[in-house]
Amino acid sequence: MPIPSYSGETCVAFLDIYGFKKLMERGIKAEEALDKFYSTVFRINRDFNEIGINARKIRSLVVSDCSVIFVDNTGLTQDKVEDVKTVLRFVQKVNQELLVIDGSRSILTTCSADYGRFKYEDRIEFEGIGKDFFFGQPYVAAFLDNEKLKNKPGYCRIIGKNLRTLDDNLTIFPLSLLKTEGDYYYFYWMLNNLDELGSFQRRYEDVSESTYRNTAALLRSLGSSAGRSESSDQS
């Protein structure tokens, strides 16, 4: 089913496969990674919208090694907090699923998100040409910011300029996994709570200087249980 046209204030995330250029150099592994990436985003998006969270819908545009994700809040009362919570739940689930492929190999991502006016149009298609038209400040900001995370596999952050209302809701899951640092909210989707943050950061620094495989193993060991307390923490 095509994505319906949308125009309004919403949360937009840019999710990118980390290290895809290196995967391309290995040929078939890039193809496997893309297949896993596409199928995972599609399946989780479908299931996510079937369950429904406050009637908000997740929309995902997947192109090559990245996905543009936004919340369709059409007809609902404007609520920045609920929009952000919806995106974060989705991003966490996608990242957790991508950590395990055939029991060992993993796909790591980087992700940036922002809030603002965004427009998507499902335009008329002609034979041989498909049209997906989208633009807006939060998409541009998220795309540009994601470029700054190229040395941080697994990291996700929100640009805080337009979202300071989150400060009053940081005890609510999944906002409880946000850590304010300067102009950003970092989303530690791989943790159960921020009490684990200090240990994670020390271990991350140790392994990230070695190999992609070690970083993936660390995130996998943490991410296997992260988010299980969601049902009891939601409000």
Residue 209 has what pLDDT? 60
Residue 132 has what pLDDT? 57
Residue 226 has what pLDDT? 62
Residue 106 has what pLDDT? 82
Domain 6-233, what architecture?
2-Layer Sandwich (3.30)
The structure's pTM equals 0.86
**Tens of pLDDT along 146-170?**
999 988 999 999 999 999 999 999 9
Residue 127 has what pLDDT? 47
Number of residues that this document lists for the chain: 235
pLDDT < 70 stretches in the chain: 1, 23-28, 52-54, 101-105, 123-133, 208-210, 223-235
Distance of CA 15 to the CA centre of its chain: 5
Residue 141 has what pLDDT? 97
**So where are the chain's domains?**
6-233
**Looking at residue 38, what DSSP letter applies?**
H
d(CA 31, CA 59): 24
- Which alpha helices (DSSP H) does the chain contain, by range? 20-25, 28-51, 80-98, 137-146, 197-208, 212-223, 230-233
